């Protein structure tokens, strides 16, 4: 789709191209407020990107990929970033990185910065949020992405579609079956565990966490078990540690009440990501408790850090580097899956949603020492 031009903006606003340029490109000479408002409204309605970046996106390739993650120090995002980098090398492209802490308003600023640098495509990895405080940021991010796609850019989002995004072309989602995999984990754990379950989850409204909590509860129900209690905390190691301290007190109190039957006081803990599970395990150890003797624990993601974690952590394995590669390849010029009339990308793809193609990846439950029930 051809990009909007400054001339078209000027024509719609009823001003000269020079006047439109002064409004949109930061000139010290500015027209009156009424004229400036007309120009900005015309630019917004046409999806014009200032500084002539729309023409650059439509007519040439910069060889740049923008990658947006919540925290590159988190092993989950680091693994996805490795996959993006590997696929970018295959395509002889370079990766620009932005870390945002998960705030959609900051993601919007990153998208705008990548567009201004004429990035050919953008990959966004990180959970979407429906929390009230993110409502305005979600709307701004969706509008910025739609504008970028209308002007020839390509976007791949890992997990869920960006809330409110509607661009009909150039938009791709690599969906993670969090709910189904969490349910499978719950069923396997319930088959060998008669005690109580507890879930350590992120803040309510965080899509990835909510999906995994919902799936785990559904898995318990299908196994004929009662729902697990849910502890809400930060979606990181620190949050897991805080929840672990709370659970350590509960385990100790249970041990005191059932001294003749230690197994009755044990809990099976599901943390909705591995770094939260690591934090919770650290808190239990600091309180003199051992895994799996006093409590069992499982996570989700199978991050690389787990290679050095003892006891080995039960988890759901996701192909994190492959997710990064798929997202990057899906946004390559001419790639299948970026054109609604073309063929799907390789893999098990589903029907496209309102904002482009969707492709699902697979994962698997991996049970290890941390959930063994023998005492």
Give the CATH number, domain containing residue 154: 3.40.50.2300
**Closest CA relative to residue 120, chosen from 166, 60, 161:** 60
* Amino acid 56: pLDDT: 46
- How far does CA 319 lie from the centroid of its chain? 14
The verdict on 148 and 218 lying in the same domain is: no
The verdict on 164 and 247 lying in the same domain is: no
Q: Is residue 366 in some structural domain? A: no
Q: Is residue 369 in some structural domain? A: no
* Full strand arrangement of the beta sheet holding 154-158: 94-99, 64-69, 121-125, 154-158, 171-175, 356-360, 349-353
Q: Is residue 260 in some structural domain? A: yes
The pTM of this model reads 0.78
The C-alpha angle with vertex 189 and arms to 174 and 310, in degrees rounded to 5, equals 85
Instruction: Look up residue 63 and give its DSSP letter.
Output: -
Q: Is residue 373 in some structural domain? A: no
Q: Which domain holds residue 354?
A: 60-176+320-360
* Amino acid 261: pLDDT: 54
What is the domain count for the chain? Answer: 3
Q: What is the DSSP string of 138-166?
A: HHHHHHHHHHHHHTT-EEEEESSPPTT--
The verdict on 208 and 220 lying in the same domain is: yes
Q: Is residue 119 in some structural domain? A: yes
The verdict on 188 and 144 lying in the same domain is: no
Residue with tokens 């919770």: 280
The verdict on 21 and 91 lying in the same domain is: no
Q: Is residue 1 in some structural domain? A: no
In this structure, what are the phi and psi dihedrals at residue 62, rounded to the nearest 5 degrees? -85, -15
SS (H, E, C) 168-181: CCCEEEEECCHHHH
Q: Is residue 351 in some structural domain? A: yes
The verdict on 298 and 196 lying in the same domain is: yes
Q: Is 115 helix (H, G, I), strand (E, B) or coil?
A: helix
**Closest CA relative to residue 165, chosen from 144, 187, 188:** 144
94-99 and 121-125 beta bridge pairing: unpaired
The verdict on 191 and 297 lying in the same domain is: yes
The alpha carbon torsion through 348, 99, 279, 269 (nearest 10 deg) reads -30
Per-residue pLDDT tens listing for the chain (375 residues): 456 788 888 898 898 888 888 787 666 566 788 888 898 888 888 888 765 454 444 446 778 999 999 999 999 999 999 999 999 999 999 999 999 988 999 999 999 999 988 899 999 998 899 999 999 999 999 999 988 988 888 999 999 888 888 766 678 999 999 999 999 999 999 998 888 999 999 999 999 999 999 999 999 999 999 999 999 999 999 999 999 999 999 998 877 666 555 555 589 999 999 999 999 999 999 999 999 999 999 999 999 999 889 999 999 999 999 999 999 999 887 665 443 333 333 333 333 334 456 777 899 999 999 999 754
* Amino acid 359: pLDDT: 79
The verdict on 189 and 299 lying in the same domain is: yes
Cβ atoms < 10 Å from Cβ of 191: 8
The verdict on 136 and 77 lying in the same domain is: yes
The verdict on 211 and 289 lying in the same domain is: yes
Q: Is residue 133 in some structural domain? A: yes
The verdict on 17 and 118 lying in the same domain is: no
The verdict on 313 and 184 lying in the same domain is: yes
* End-of-domain residue from the set 266, 300, 317: 317
CA distance 371 to 268: 8
173 close to 358: Cβ distance less than 8 angstroms: yes
* End-of-domain residue from the set 317, 337, 352: 317
């Amino acid at each position: 789709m051809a990009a909007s031009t400054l001339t078209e903006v000027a024509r719609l606003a009823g001003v000269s191209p020079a006047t439109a340029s002064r409004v949109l490109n930061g000139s010290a000479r500015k027209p009156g407020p009424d004229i400036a408002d007309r120009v900005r409204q015309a630019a917004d309605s046409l999806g014009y990107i200032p500084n002539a970046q729309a023409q650059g996106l439509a007519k040439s390739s910069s060889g740049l990929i923008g990658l947006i993650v919540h925290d590159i120090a988190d092993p989950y995002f680091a693994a996805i970033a490795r996959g993006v980098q590997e696929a970018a090398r295959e395509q002889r492209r370079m990766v620009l990185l932005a870390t945002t802490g998960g705030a959609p308003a900051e993601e919007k600023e990153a998208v705008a910065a990548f567009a201004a640098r004429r990035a050919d495509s953008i990959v966004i990895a990180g959970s979407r949020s429906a929390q009230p405080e993110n409502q305005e940021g979600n709307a701004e991010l969706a509008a910025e992405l739609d504008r970028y796609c209308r002007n020839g850019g390509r976007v791949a989002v890992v997990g869920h579609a960006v809330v409110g995004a509607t661009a009909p072309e150039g938009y791709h989602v690599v969906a993670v079956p969090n709910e189904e995999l969490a349910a499978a984990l719950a069923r396997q754990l319930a088959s060998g565990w008669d005690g109580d379950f507890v879930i350590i989850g992120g803040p309510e409204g965080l899509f990835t966490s909510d999906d995994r909590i919902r799936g785990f509860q559904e898995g318990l129900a299908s196994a004929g078990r009662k729902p697990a209690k849910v502890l809400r905390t930060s979606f990181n190691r620190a949050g897991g540690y805080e929840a672990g301290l709370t659970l350590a007190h509960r385990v100790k109190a249970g041990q005191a009440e059932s001294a003749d039957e230690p197994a009755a006081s044990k809990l099976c803990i599901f943390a909705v990501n591995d770094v939260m599970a690591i934090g919770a395990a650290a808190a239990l150890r600091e309180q003199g408790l051992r895994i799996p003797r006093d409590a069992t624990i499982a996570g989700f993601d199978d991050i690389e850090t787990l290679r050095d974690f003892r006891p080995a952590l039960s988890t759901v394995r996701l192909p994190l580097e492959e997710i990064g590669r798929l997202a990057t390849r899906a946004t390559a010029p001419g790639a299948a899956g970026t054109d609604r009339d073309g063929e799907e990308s390789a893999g098990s793809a589903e029907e496209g949603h309102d904002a482009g193609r969707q492709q699902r990846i697979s994962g698997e439950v991996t049970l290890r020492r941390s959930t063994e029930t023998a005492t």
